[in-house]
Structure 1
Amino acid sequence: MQYVRLGNSGLKVSRICLGMMSYGAKSWREWVLGEADAEEHVRKALDLGINFFDTANVYSVGVSEEITGRT
């Protein structure tokens, strides 16, 4: 995996970012995947060296962030 510096923060993040908007509660959007799918995808991403995850408190009304934190 290739890594780059994140601005002037000194952090090194993977060039590939996994967006977490697709994970959370189906009550938010019908196309959202549940926690089991998220865990499988995040674990695989970590195994591949991905350490950059895009999440926000508005994705699935915060459930996406909770899932990201537990995984």
Structure 2
Amino acid sequence: MLGRTGLRVSEVFLGAMTFGEEQICSSPQEARRILDLYGEAGGNVIDTANFYSGGRSETILGELPAGSPRSVRGG
């Protein structure tokens, strides 16, 4: 749980720093596969920042369709 919010967060967070980084995870499709696997394993917290991969990390995450791990709610 996240404090008194009632929001359930996974014990393992996913760092998205490499999403959009050409030498490591160059395509949105690769990032999507990583996110799918993370969600299937029960993960629901993604770490990102506007400077990861020059902002491409947030762009990739923001373009994912509804129903992806980014839309998971506590409960």
Identity %: 35
Which residue of structure 2 aligns with residue 58 of structure 1?
51
Q: Which runs of 5+ in 1 are unaligned?
A: none
Question: What RMSD over aligned residues (CA atoms) do the two structures have, in Å?
Answer: 1.6
Aligned residues: 62
TM-score, normalised via structure 2 length? 0.70
**Structure 1 residues 58 and 37, CA gap change in structure 2 (3 angstroms):** same
Q: Which has more strand, going by share of residues? A: 1
Runs of 4+ in structure 1 deviating by more than 2 angstroms, as ranges, are none
**Structure 1 residues 61 and 14, CA gap change in structure 2 (3 angstroms):** same
Which residue of structure 2 aligns with residue 32 of structure 1?
24
Per-residue CA distance 1:18-66 (angstroms, 9 max, x = gap): 100011142xxxx331211101000111111110100000001211011
Q: Which runs of 5+ in 2 are unaligned?
A: 65-75
